[in-house]
Amino acid sequence: MHPELLLLIGISFSMGFTPGPNNAVASYSAFNFGIRKTLPIILGVGFGYTTLVILLIFFLISVFQKYPYLQEIIRILGSIFLIYLAYKISFSKGKSKSSTENPVKFFETYFFQFINPKGVMAAITLISKFVTQENFLNSSIAVIIVCSVTAFLSITGWALVGKFLRKFATNNEFIKRFNYAMSILLVVCVLSFYL
């Protein structure tokens, strides 16, 4: 395997598997609703992030280079959405209603990828480092594949963590505390965008 590809995989995995908004939401969802009802989130993140990477490579990277303040707008919009999501998660009901209705849907997570500060910055970083002009098509395909696989694996992994933790949920108080913890994690993610 080419050393550049190994480096791309390593950096992509380290960015994808670290705590972030997508991962917190996936854990919350699988914990409260199970893996089947979390599939729309997994698919939304996976396909949304892949679409983002493709658009950045072929269209948007030059726009961000020309207008760097757009990254700041994305950071602000993403922060507002995450605070709203943290509120929804924090005040979601216990088992009664939450077992049937997941407040996070496919399109929300799909389109959130375009304003997710962590995801956008990770994609821009990977594209800037690994997409070369000399070998544009091959390096672009490598970045797209690695980013897509990472997105699907990391979001699924975090969903499985949430599902695993559900085994220890013996009462509504534990469920409430877990939901609060996921809300706090989202707020911490927002704060980390500004540090």
**72-116: per-residue pLDDT in tens?**
888 888 888 888 888 888 876 555 444 556 767 899 999 999 999
CA proximity to 102, closest of 28, 20, 172, 181: 28
Q: Would you say residue 18 lies in a domain?
A: no
Write down the pLDDT at residue 100.
Answer: 59
* Sequence-distant (≥ 6) Cβ neighbours of residue 119 within 8 angstroms: 20, 22, 49, 52, 113
- Contact between 171 and 70 (Cβ < 8 Å): no
Q: Would you say residue 14 lies in a domain?
A: no
d(Cα 85, Cα 160) in Å, to the nearest integer?
20
Q: Would you say residue 13 lies in a domain?
A: no
- Contact between 65 and 162 (Cβ < 8 Å): no
Write down the pLDDT at residue 150.
Answer: 96
Q: Would you say residue 16 lies in a domain?
A: no
| Cα 123 to the center of its chain, rounded Å | 12
Q: Would you say residue 131 lies in a domain?
A: yes
Write down the pLDDT at residue 96.
Answer: 43
Write down the pLDDT at residue 98.
Answer: 46
Q: Would you say residue 88 lies in a domain?
A: yes
Q: Would you say residue 122 lies in a domain?
A: yes
C-alpha distances (whole Å) from 174 to each of 2, 25, 186 are: 47, 17, 19
State the amino acid at position 44 in one-letter form.
G
- Give how many domains the chain has, as a whole number: 1
Q: Which domain holds residue 53?
A: 3-8+24-192
Q: Would you say residue 19 lies in a domain?
A: no
CA proximity to 172, closest of 19, 17, 32, 30: 32
Q: Which residues does the chain have with pLDDT short of 70?
A: 1, 92-101, 103
d(Cα 76, Cα 90) in Å, to the nearest integer?
21
- Contact between 159 and 55 (Cβ < 8 Å): no
Full-prediction pTM beyond 0.85?
no
